[in-house]
Structure 1
Amino acid sequence: MPETGFPFAAVVGHDDLRTALLLNAVHPGIGGVLVRGEKGTAKSTVVRALSALLPPVEVVPGCRFACDPAAPDPRCPDAPHDGAASRPARLVELPVGASEDRLVGSLDLERALKEGVRAFQPGLLAAAHRGVLYVDEVNLLHDHLVDLLLDAAAMGRAHIEREGVSVAHASSFLLVGTMNPEEGELRPQLLDRFGLTVQVRAAREVDTRAEVIRRRLAYEADPAGFAARWAGADAALAERITAARAALPAVALPDSELRRIAALCAAFDVDGMRADLVVARTATAHAAWRGGDRVTEADVEIAARLALPHRRRRDPFDEPGLDDKQLDQALRDAAEEADREPDPEPPGGGGGGRREEPTEPGAQESPQETPEARASGGDGDGKRAGAPDAGFTARRLEVAGIGDGAPGRRSRSRAGGGRTLRASRRGTGVHLVGTVTAAAPHQRARGRSGPLELRADDLRGSVREGRESNLVLFVVDASGSMAARKRMSAVTGAVVSLLRDAYQRRDKVGLITLRGAESTLALPPTSSVEAAVARLRDLRTGGRTPLADGLLKARRALAAERLRDPRRRALLVLVTDGRATVAARPGGDPLADAVRAACLLAADGVAAVVVDCESGPVRLGLADRVAAALGGTGVRLADLSADAVAGVVRAARAA
């Protein structure tokens, strides 16, 4: 792998990405860039090339927290400060598998044991201060690291309270992340922290693709020579960044453009005020970048295209992005607002009330156009499922026992992060208090009167408990007995809500549908919950109920996943009225075959929840029989709502 980085100026295409990165270099207050795109589109290459263009940073010599000599942090752990030096701006990479200690820092164990002092070893948040913090595959970052990152990004400071160490230090950085949407979306809280977002796709033009290959091969053949040929272009960009930074404070933001920005953000019904501020900062930075002295409509339009796409999602399953026609219409409407004279007194005494009607038609979904409603259609054989109930909030389903799977937010697990329960020889890391406590009674016998003497038997690790993500496999009955519009409306609404819950808890999901002569694996287990929602929107109803075949297919799918990821525990969610009409073998009894298939799943130790969709004055209790055979929990469809019953539905079996 060549040591010399690929030059920023040599990147072919990706104009929006380069613009977003350069504007953040001019005005770090924009808040960073999220780069979304398919694999193999040079996302990481472009981001890493940015660091060579950033102006040098003035720091205090010997300060591990990159304090500015002109305004040093009075609470810096390395204070007092003296002197000044210059060094290149840093690009610090946060690996997806990084530990909490590596991110925020930890106790310097060597000094603590040898010198008896509580010394702090800084982490990546300290190293990234006044630089760039780059997270590749940011959507796969563990949730406990996301929480720490959000806190630091929001406050501009990192606070560490652990193992007897209490430290706070400045941590203001340009956050840049890359992700492949096929592997799952970001949590809304983290998504909103990125100032700008860019969608990256490989070019389809032959000439462009050929030039990409030509430059990449030339770089691999002679990295130093290739970089030297582009050094002048990179130097020109670096000088332009420096000049734009110097000019930025003098750029004027006219009141007309400020009103245009506010009208745009109101038209797209974005949450909060962060979008307005980001668009204003981005437009100002673009004006400085092009050498202007005031923000114009063109600056605002470019800023809106970069700052609004990821903020107009009303639901986790909405597609991000802005439609050009919608943006053009919103810009025309915003122009009328920009030309209007402001009221002498804002309505309501300056209160920030929400607009009753969005300016841009269609920017706010009507109740019939919610993500659940898009699963709607006709009923009957071969027809789409009925419109789901709106506003359904699902209870949390949980696997009993304690696992050790991938970090998430569903079931209890033994974890490298999370709250510490106790010290143990079989714990992870080093539990300092437990280690010292174990060693203290033996010091006299070891002949020690000074510093603490530790031996291997004294070491204790931390036993922590956190939350894990699970594989949630949905088996949904879409047969004729379920095809009544009202019932399928409730079923699809419940399943979409459960999928939303799985999205929030970082689960993998799969979907099996029961309809016709045999079941269908509509979606193999995947981390993309959005794909499951898309399959559910195309769900058709009618025909017979192959319940036994669906359960057997679920057993095979879970067995295959167990081989791929043996630590991830599975949760089977069966949504049915239990009226099986297709046997697993010729001449067999459909319900008896379904019960036998359920017993096989129970023997495998699969945790299961059966959602009973039976309705009407006479109840046969068929779904309850299947639930008993599965050894799982039975719950009625109406009781699955968190609004109806509080608490957690725990599957009876632990894998």
Structure 2
Amino acid sequence: MSTPYPFTAVVGQDDLRLALLLNAVSPAVGGVLVRGEKGTAKSTAVRALSALLPEVDVVVGCRFSCAPGAPDPVCPDGPHETGPGSSRPARVVELPVGASEDRLVGALDIERALAEGVKAFEPGLLADANRGVLYVDEVNLLHDHLVDLLLDAAAMGSSYVEREGVSVRHAARFLLVGTMNPEEGELRPQLLDRFGLTVEVAASREPDLRVEVVRRRLAYDDDPAAFAARWADEEDALRARIVAARALLPEVRLGDAALRQIAATCAAFEVDGMRADIVMARTATTLAAWAGRTVVLAEDVRQAALLALPHRRRRNPFDAPGLDEEKLDDTLEEFGGGDDAPEDDPDPDGPGGGGQPPQDGPEGPQDGPVDAAEAPAQPEEPAQPEEGRGGRPAGSGEQSAVKAAEPFRTKMLSVPGLGEGAAGRRSRARTDHGRTTGSRRPQGALTKLHLAATVQAAAPHQRARGRSGRGLVVRRDDLRQATREGREGNLVLFVVDASGSMAARQRMSAVKGAVLSLLLDAYQRRDKVGLITFRGKDAMVALPPTSSVDAAAVRLETLPTGGRTPLSAGLLKAHDVLRVERMRDPARRPLLVVVTDGRATGGPDPVALGTRAARLHAADGTASVVVDCESGPVRLGLAGALAGELGGTAVTLDELRADSIAGLVRDVQGASGAHRRVA
């Protein structure tokens, strides 16, 4: 086993280290979500925490880590006799993003259950993490059904595995730690609320601090054992402080004044539910114990708010996390007073000190090279006014970015047919979860038994198999896997016209508001999104396909307008993007959303070029919608004609604003070639 990187050698990242240490002192705080750009020591710090956790006493031979003094009465390995157990280090169990349901919760051997009547159970990662830490790297990319299982286990402290009347339950009390890069997509609000604390991490821009990060990482890579030995004293001191804080925690008093401040703060920031109040109370109490105090002070409440509230006040994925610290201070001052802590109460390190020696680096070392923060995509260079060749003077100049109108709720757009893509909430698909539609022979391990089909397959052979009792003689060839139908997530690729013909400020504001509304819908339905814009002479990929709809919203918000209308360039760029995505993820079906007035300018025959580009999408069977942004008393119907060439459907911008787009278009006719104009 390789030597882990020392926790005390992580440079900077005070909030991250403090949040992890508070959870080590009191798992009741509820875990921590670490948000930040790539290469900021998120994973390194979490993995390093395992060496600091106190050992746990377990029943010898129990696969579910039952405590010797209070074993789980329904433990699958029980019943356990009371007596001395054995000690082992606390586990940090990693849940891979691509893990299966069986790997997470465990697997029942259905064949043995049916044929032999025994409960043969292979524990999963939830059993391994009991009384330890469950670490989910890239937690925002975890499949929805795994998220649901995690939510249930975290809420109940136990895991249930039930298959066709055969069930197993075991304890699953764990500290949930997740890391994520917000550029790759946001978490569902239900899972976000399950994390007690959240911290934002970023790489420093100070050269001296970055040098220290690299210096320590290189020293560790050259000789991990020697590097760890250099930090052994600091590790021992921090481990001892965790033990001392755990012992002091039951004696910490949360006074009425601090409790009023907690309640007032949660009310002031309008967080949903009561979990925030409870988490803040537990965090403030743990902060006091960590500082060596038995009384919670206002500074503990303030630090608890900064850790427990930012992720709970987001109303939609376009809201930036964080707290208004001035408002926080005003609230604490208004409801302060009454603390009866002694003036000479020991506080050697302060609630944010982390109990570690001063460090002069911004972040800990990484598992790989330190990358500079990925700079947000810049708006494309302003298009220069073009002369002659039929250019429209009114629309040829550059205009500044227009603020988007308020987004609204849309109904569902779906891709026709039955897909097999990643689980989501948009189009019909064959999935592991959903309603049962039939059965088939299992391919590999049996996971979802179709009991009626299995009995029907086995029944004709009972006499030949010498059945003598009441039990059914079942063999491998009789087993049938249930086929199920649910919903999948799609790739929604937006192609937005930013040319001069779209540059009327009121109209472009409405267009951006409509696209933001569809982006919000894509977030709720677990889609990937991409954004292509075209104007001037060419098209550009403003955002490659990603799960981060808020990143798409940022790119859209800064989008300028002006120049000619290279419609064909936008469609060809979209065709190239979809071609690459089909090779990367062939199971994920695309939905093309073209937002334009249908005009095409530039080049010898722009209309013919646009037609040929549209027919490429129709030939690929790409489902498509054209949002017609044409305005004025005289309408040319160009967007409708474009939808016809795409083999899709056209809706007007007014109809989209009226929250009727998906009600009018239930299934986009992407492959039929038929075109319907919604009047």
- Taking structure 2 as the reference length, what is the TM-score of the superposition? 0.82
Q: State how far apart, in whole Å, the 2-side matches of 1:654 and 1:294 are.
A: 68
Instruction: Report how far residue 645 of structure 1 moved.
Output: 6.6
Q: State how far apart, in whole Å, the 2-side matches of 1:240 and 1:327 are.
A: 30
**Contact 1:107–1:163 under 8 Å retained in 2:** no
Residue 269, structure 1, aligned to residue 265, structure 2: no
**What corresponds to 1:415 in structure 2?**
431
SS of corresponding position for 2:591 = strand
Q: State how far apart, in whole Å, the 2-side matches of 1:137 and 1:480 are.
A: 41
Q: State how far apart, in whole Å, the 2-side matches of 1:53 and 1:21 are.
A: 10
Cα distance change of structure 1 residues 493 and 92 upon mapping to structure 2, 3 Å threshold? same
Task: Return the letter of the residue paired with 1:414.
Answer: R
Task: Return the letter of the residue paired with 1:23.
Answer: L
Cα distance change of structure 1 residues 453 and 162 upon mapping to structure 2, 3 Å threshold? closer
**Contact 2:115–2:474 under 8 Å retained in 1:** no
**What corresponds to 1:146 in structure 2?**
147
Q: State how far apart, in whole Å, the 2-side matches of 1:220 and 1:489 are.
A: 52
SS of corresponding position for 1:272 = coil
Cα distance change of structure 1 residues 209 and 615 upon mapping to structure 2, 3 Å threshold? closer
Task: Return the letter of the residue paired with 2:624.
Answer: A
**Contact 1:401–1:654 under 8 Å retained in 2:** no
Which stretch of the first structure deviates more once superposed, 533-542 or 161-170? 161-170
Q: State how far apart, in whole Å, the 2-side matches of 1:482 and 1:603 are.
A: 28
SS of corresponding position for 2:336 = helix
SS of corresponding position for 1:383 = coil
Q: State how far apart, in whole Å, the 1-side matches of 2:169 and 2:671 are.
A: 41
User: What is the correspondence of 1:114-263 to structure 2 with a 5 Å cutoff?
Assistant: 115-263=116-264
Cα distance change of structure 1 residues 169 and 640 upon mapping to structure 2, 3 Å threshold? farther
**Contact 1:100–1:417 under 8 Å retained in 2:** no
**What corresponds to 1:293 in structure 2?**
294
SS of corresponding position for 2:173 = coil
Select 1:336's aligned residue among 334, 338, 353: 334
Task: Return the letter of the residue paired with 2:641.
Answer: R
Q: State how far apart, in whole Å, the 1-side matches of 2:315 and 2:254 are.
A: 30
Task: State the superposition RMSD in angstroms.
Answer: 3.0
Residue 41, structure 1, aligned to residue 25, structure 2: no
**What corresponds to 1:7 in structure 2?**
6
Residue 483, structure 1, aligned to residue 500, structure 2: no
Instruction: Report how far residue 31 of structure 1 moved.
Output: 0.8
Instruction: Report how far residue 33 of structure 1 moved.
Output: 0.9
Q: State how far apart, in whole Å, the 1-side matches of 2:608 and 2:279 are.
A: 61
Which stretch of the first structure deviates more once superposed, 105-114 or 310-319? 105-114
**Contact 1:61–1:82 under 8 Å retained in 2:** no
**Contact 1:395–1:642 under 8 Å retained in 2:** no
Task: Return the letter of the residue paired with 1:59.
Answer: V
Select 1:528's aligned residue among 548, 572, 587: 548
**What corresponds to 2:630 in structure 1?**
614
**Contact 1:76–1:170 under 8 Å retained in 2:** yes
Task: Return the letter of the residue paired with 1:198.
Answer: V
Q: State how far apart, in whole Å, the 1-side matches of 2:152 and 2:334 are.
A: 39
Residue 623, structure 1, aligned to residue 622, structure 2: no
**What corresponds to 2:376 in structure 1?**
none
Which stretch of the first structure deviates more once superposed, 273-282 or 590-599? 590-599
Q: State how far apart, in whole Å, the 1-side matches of 2:100 and 2:658 are.
A: 34
Residue 582, structure 1, aligned to residue 567, structure 2: no
Cα distance change of structure 1 residues 495 and 339 upon mapping to structure 2, 3 Å threshold? same
Cα distance change of structure 1 residues 205 and 626 upon mapping to structure 2, 3 Å threshold? closer
User: What is the correspondence of 1:349-368 to structure 2 with a 5 Å cutoff?
Assistant: none
Instruction: Report how far residue 106 of structure 1 moved.
Output: 2.6
SS of corresponding position for 2:103 = helix
Residue 569, structure 1, aligned to residue 589, structure 2: yes
Q: State how far apart, in whole Å, the 2-side matches of 1:515 and 1:525 are.
A: 20
Q: State how far apart, in whole Å, the 2-side matches of 1:441 and 1:308 are.
A: 62
Task: Give aligned-pair identity as a percent.
Answer: 67
List per-residue Cα deviations over 1:253-272 (Å, max 9, x = no partner): 12222222233333333232
Which stretch of the first structure deviates more once superposed, 527-536 or 57-66? 57-66
User: What is the correspondence of 1:319-330 to structure 2 with a 5 Å cutoff?
Assistant: 319-322=320-323, 326-330=324-328
**Contact 2:302–2:328 under 8 Å retained in 1:** no
Q: State how far apart, in whole Å, the 1-side matches of 2:123 and 2:437 are.
A: 25
Q: State how far apart, in whole Å, the 2-side matches of 1:638 and 1:495 are.
A: 13
SS of corresponding position for 2:483 = strand
Instruction: Report how far residue 166 of structure 1 moved.
Output: 2.9
Select 1:445's aligned residue among 459, 464, 483: 464
List per-residue Cα deviations over 1:214-269 (Å, max 9, x = no partner): 44344444444444444443233222222211211210112222222233333333
Task: Return the letter of the residue paired with 1:423.
Answer: S
Q: State how far apart, in whole Å, the 2-side matches of 1:572 and 1:284 are.
A: 52
List per-residue Cα deviations over 1:537-562 (Å, max 9, x = no partner): 12233444332332222222222332
User: What is the correspondence of 1:421-570 to structure 2 with a 5 Å cutoff?
Assistant: 421-425=437-441, 429-430=445-446, 431-432=448-449, 433=451, 434-435=453-454, 437-447=456-466, 449=468, 457-570=477-590
Q: State how far apart, in whole Å, the 1-side matches of 2:584 and 2:402 are.
A: 36
Which stretch of the first structure deviates more once superposed, 513-522 or 195-204? 513-522
Q: State how far apart, in whole Å, the 2-side matches of 1:420 and 1:145 are.
A: 19
**What corresponds to 1:56 in structure 2?**
55
**Contact 1:499–1:529 under 8 Å retained in 2:** yes
Cα distance change of structure 1 residues 240 and 71 upon mapping to structure 2, 3 Å threshold? same
Task: Return the letter of the residue paired with 1:35.
Answer: V
Q: State how far apart, in whole Å, the 1-side matches of 2:167 and 2:146 are.
A: 19
Instruction: Report how far residue 340 of structure 1 moved.
Output: 8.2
Cα distance change of structure 1 residues 209 and 547 upon mapping to structure 2, 3 Å threshold? closer
Instruction: Report how far residue 499 of structure 1 moved.
Output: 0.9
Task: Return the letter of the residue paired with 1:515.
Answer: R
**What corresponds to 1:401 in structure 2?**
417
SS of corresponding position for 2:485 = strand
Task: Return the letter of the residue paired with 2:291.
Answer: R
Instruction: Report how far residue 592 of structure 1 moved.
Output: 4.3
Question: How many residues of Structure 1 are paired with residues of Structure 2 in the alignment?
Answer: 610
List per-residue Cα deviations over 1:24-69 (Å, max 9, x = no partner): 1111111101112232333222212212222222334444433344
Q: State how far apart, in whole Å, the 1-side matches of 2:45 and 2:507 are.
A: 51
Q: State how far apart, in whole Å, the 2-side matches of 1:38 and 1:543 are.
A: 35
Q: State how far apart, in whole Å, the 2-side matches of 1:511 and 1:65 are.
A: 47
SS of corresponding position for 1:397 = coil
**Contact 1:405–1:468 under 8 Å retained in 2:** yes
Q: State how far apart, in whole Å, the 2-side matches of 1:517 and 1:224 are.
A: 58
SS of corresponding position for 1:135 = strand
Q: State how far apart, in whole Å, the 2-side matches of 1:241 and 1:334 are.
A: 28
Instruction: Report how far residue 571 of structure 1 moved.
Output: 1.0
SS of corresponding position for 1:34 = strand
Task: Return the letter of the residue paired with 1:525.
Answer: P
- Taking structure 1 as the reference length, what is the TM-score of the superposition? 0.85
**What corresponds to 1:356 in structure 2?**
none
**Structure 1, gaps ≥5 residues long:** 342-378
**What corresponds to 1:87 in structure 2?**
87
SS of corresponding position for 2:586 = coil
Q: State how far apart, in whole Å, the 1-side matches of 2:230 and 2:544 are.
A: 48
Q: State how far apart, in whole Å, the 2-side matches of 1:280 and 1:536 are.
A: 40
**Contact 2:411–2:660 under 8 Å retained in 1:** no
Task: Return the letter of the residue paired with 2:236.
Answer: A
Q: State how far apart, in whole Å, the 1-side matches of 2:444 and 2:584 are.
A: 25
Task: Return the letter of the residue paired with 1:36.
Answer: R
List per-residue Cα deviations over 1:12-35 (Å, max 9, x = no partner): 322221211110111111110111
SS of corresponding position for 1:132 = strand
